[in-house]
Amino acid sequence: MKTMISLLSLVVLHMCAQVQHPVSPSKSKTMSDTAKNNPYYSRTERTHLNVSDTEWKQILPPDLYAVAREASTEYPFTGKYNDFDQFGEYYCAVCGNHLFRSDAKFASTCGWPSFFEADREGVYYKRDVSHGMERIEVLCKRCDSHLGHVFNDGPEPTGMRYCMNSVSLDFVPDKK
C-alpha cells in the first residue's frame, strides 16, 4: 500500500511539473519592486499587451521570466503561495491582470498553489503536449504569460484544479 501511495504521489507531482529543470525560489526582487520597475504592470488595465520576450527579459526577474515566458516551473512545495491562506485577490505577476480570488484556493497537496476557479476574463487555455504528456496550459489573457496547468481532478463546485506557479502570482490582501 505504501508503494502505491508513493507511486501515486510521484505521478501527481509529475503531472503538475511543466519542465525538467525547475526554478528555485527567488530572493532577488520583491513583487512590489518588479511592479514598480515594470511600465506594463496595471491592476486595472485589461488591454492585451504585445511585448517582446526580449523586452520582458529586461524587465522581469530571472525566475519570473523563466516561468512566465519560457514555461518553466518552480520546485514543488517551495512557492510562497503553496501553504498560504489569506483572503484577497491574485494577479498576474508580469502584468497585474486579475486571475483568482482567494475563495477559490484550496489545499491540493500537489506542491503548488491550487484554485478550483479562475477569472474568466483573466486567463485562457492552450493544449500542451510537451514532455510526453497531454495537458491544458493556463496563460494570462493580457500578457500571454505561462501561469501553470489545469486538471479535472479538483473539488466541487467546478471539479477543476488550477495548478499555478507562485512566482507567476501577485497577491493583494483584502482591506480590513
DSSP collapsed to 3 states, the chain: CHHHHHHHHHHHHHHHCCCCCCECCCCCCCHHHHHHCCCCCCCCCCCCCCCCHHHHHHHCCHHHHHHHHHCCCECCCCCCCCCCCCCEEEEECCCCCEEEEHHHEECCCCCCCEECCCCCCCEEEEEECHHHCCEEEEEECCCCCEEEEEECCCCCCCCCEEEECHHHEEEEECCC
Residue 112's nearest CA partner among 85, 139, 80 is: 80
Q: Check if the beta carbon of residue 74 is closer than 8 Å to that of residue 21.
A: no
Q: Which of 16, 95, 143, 163 is catalytic?
A: 163
163 part of the active site: yes
Residues with a catalytic annotation lie at 163
